């Protein structure tokens, strides 16, 4: 992974600002920040939608003059001049994530703990939500030895099943919360990557598919079999994406995470090195939708190839069992599909897997030398074209495409539907 770190910390993130927020968080007006270190928290290609900053601080209080170390993370919006800033505002992602941390996640965590009986952490604790600056400060879970799995190695069966268990609780608690508090998800939870309000992502998705088509020139067999299909998909992508993300009569719907991939999951491990808990981060694209969009997106971007290509029906069955059990514990009285019905729902929205596999997944596993940013994706400069080509033309991605394209094609997902 390149060591280049993207985006500077916000100019307003000063010692005075941090001290004020920590005084409120610790409920101690005597707290004084003695030392402050601010540095980027993520590297090139790790995040395209926000600025992540690590805050290392040492502080004293009237009760303890000995310096106390603490570490926090600050998530803030991209600068106004950043080309993607308007895009994310169009999708309402910043307001939505602040709402999630303040209004939704605490209720869901309580339901999971009290009703489902799982006391494990679900998300990072919130230090402060600053709506004026569109920022969220939260605890640094690396101090509890939570860490993100390798986005290039992807997740094995043990990690995948643990994540699916936690995802089932997330989805079940979202459905139960909506039942107990009607209308809680009516505002601003209908703008996923595909929605009826905006097609802001259309240009990005188009230029990425065009880069995919160009990459097929490197493999004559793939070119002959799939280039015309990819070219035809370019004009159909948004229509089919919106269809796959539209709630249909008979669908089981709930709060979906909306952007569930390796870098938005953190794992904690036991003394033997086995994963013992998984938590979710990055709630910008949470949406009231079918839970299968999370499954398709996660399977297409984050699990090892043998699981993705050979074991998805069994993984859906595993998830469904956990979901049904959680809904029962929550005394959810709404519609719960049978496994057969749920598998049908999964298949009916399978175009979401084609979108995730071919458009977003290559950006998630990029490990090259070019600058990784939305600006480079939308740029028509030589540098921008070089980055987009690099996404698909690497040896790693060419190998993935050789298995992914036939896998999607067997379901008719590359054809006109």
Domain ranges of the chain: 15-76, 86-122+145-409
Task: Mention every residue, 6+ apart, whose C-beta is less than 8 A from residue 223.
Answer: 216, 217
Q: What is the mean pLDDT of residues 110-125?
A: 95
pLDDT at 164: 98
Q: Binning pLDDT at 50, 70 and 90, where does residue 4 land?
A: very low
Picking from 128, 145, 147, the residue whose alpha carbon sits closest to that of residue 136 is 128
Question: Could you give the residue ranges of the DSSP H alpha helices within 253-311?
Answer: 292-302, 305-310
The answer to whether 265 touches 148, Cβ cutoff 8 Å, is: yes
116 φ/ψ angles, rounded to the nearest 5 degrees: -80, -25
pLDDT exceeds 50 at position 86:
yes
Q: Binning pLDDT at 50, 70 and 90, where does residue 88 land?
A: confident
Position with higher pLDDT, 92 vs 358: 358
The answer to whether 43 touches 2, Cβ cutoff 8 Å, is: yes
Express as a percent the part of the chain with pLDDT over 70: 94
Q: What is the mean pLDDT of residues 342-349?
A: 97
For residue 210, give both structure tokens.
Answer: 């065009």
pLDDT at 375: 85
Q: What is the mean pLDDT of residues 223-239?
A: 97
68 φ/ψ angles, rounded to the nearest 5 degrees: -105, 125
pLDDT at 3: 32
Picking from 174, 137, 123, the residue whose alpha carbon sits closest to that of residue 287 is 174
pLDDT exceeds 50 at position 1:
no
Please list the residues that pair with 288 across neighbouring strands: 255
* Mean of per-residue pLDDT scores for the chain: 92
pLDDT at 6: 47
pLDDT exceeds 50 at position 348:
yes
Q: What is the mean pLDDT of residues 221-225?
A: 97
Q: What is the mean pLDDT of residues 164-186?
A: 97
pLDDT exceeds 50 at position 203:
yes
Q: What is the mean pLDDT of residues 38-49?
A: 64
Dihedral (CA of 389, 382, 202, 132) sign: positive
Picking from 96, 94, 54, 44, the residue whose alpha carbon sits closest to that of residue 74 is 54
pLDDT at 59: 96
Q: Is 251 helix (H, G, I), strand (E, B) or coil?
A: coil
pLDDT exceeds 70 at position 39:
yes
pLDDT at 25: 94
Q: Is 261 helix (H, G, I), strand (E, B) or coil?
A: coil
Q: What is the mean pLDDT of residues 217-237?
A: 97
CA distance 331 to 157: 30
- What is the Cα Rg of the chain in Å? 22
The answer to whether 401 touches 414, Cβ cutoff 8 Å, is: no
Task: Mention every residue, 6+ apart, whose C-beta is less than 8 A from residue 181.
Answer: 107
CA distance 203 to 182: 36
CA distance 114 to 416: 47
pLDDT at 80: 47
Picking from 313, 297, 314, 303, the residue whose alpha carbon sits closest to that of residue 357 is 297
For 382-408, write each residue's pLDDT tens digit.
999 999 999 999 999 999 999 999 999
For 56-80, write each residue's pLDDT tens digit.
999 999 998 899 999 999 988 754 4
The CATH fold of domain 86-122+145-409: Aminoglycoside 3'-phosphotransferase; Chain: A, domain 2 (3.90.1200)
């Amino acid at each position: 992974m390149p060591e280049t770190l993207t985006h500077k910390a916000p100019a307003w993130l000063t010692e005075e600002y941090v001290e004020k927020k920590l005084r409120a968080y610790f409920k101690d007006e005597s707290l004084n920040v003695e030392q402050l270190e601010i540095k980027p928290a993520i590297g090139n290609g790790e995040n395209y939608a926000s600025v992540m900053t690590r805050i290392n601080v040492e502080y004293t209080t009237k009760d303890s003059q000995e310096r106390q170390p603490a570490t926090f993370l600050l998530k803030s919006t991209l600068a106004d001049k950043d080309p993607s800033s308007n895009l994310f505002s169009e999708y309402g992602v910043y307001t939505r994530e602040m709402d999630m941390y303040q209004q939704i996640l605490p209720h869901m965590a309580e339901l999971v703990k009290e009703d489902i009986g799982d006391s494990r952490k679900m998300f990072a604790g919130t230090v402060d939500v600053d709506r004026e600056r569109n920022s969220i400060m939260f605890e640094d879970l690396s101090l509890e030895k939570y860490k993100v799995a390798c986005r290039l190695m992807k997740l094995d069966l043990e990690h995948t099943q643990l994540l699916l268990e936690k995802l089932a609780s997330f989805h079940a608690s979202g459905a139960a919360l909506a039942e107990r508090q009607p209308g809680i998800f009516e505002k601003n939870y209908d703008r996923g990557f595909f929605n009826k309000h905006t097609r802001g992502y259309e240009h990005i998705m188009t230029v990425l598919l065009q880069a995919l088509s160009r990459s097929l020139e490197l493999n004559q067999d793939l070119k002959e079999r799939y280039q015309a299909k990819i070219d035809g998909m370019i004009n159909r992508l948004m229509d089919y994406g919106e269809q796959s993300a539209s709630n249909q009569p008979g669908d089981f719907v709930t709060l979906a995470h909306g952007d569930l991939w390796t870098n938005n999951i953190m794992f904690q491990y036991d003394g033997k090195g086995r994963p013992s808990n998984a938590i979710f981060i990055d709630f910008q694209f949470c949406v009231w939708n079918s839970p299968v969009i999370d499954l398709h997106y996660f399977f297409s971007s984050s699990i090892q190839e043998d699981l993705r290509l050979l074991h998805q029906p069994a993984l859906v069955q595993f998830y469904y069992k956990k979901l049904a059990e959680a809904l029962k514990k929550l005394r959810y009285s709404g519609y719960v599909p049978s496994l057969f019905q749920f598998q049908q729902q999964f298949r009916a929205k399978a175009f979401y897997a084609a979108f995730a596999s071919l458009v977003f997944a290559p950006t998630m596993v990029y490990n090259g030398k070019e600058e990784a940013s939305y600006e480079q994706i939308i740029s028509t400069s030589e540098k921008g074209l070089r980055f987009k080509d690099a996404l698909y033309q690497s040896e790693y991605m060419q190998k993935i495409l050789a298995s992914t394209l036939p896998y999607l094609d067997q379901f008719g997902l590359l054809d006109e539907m």
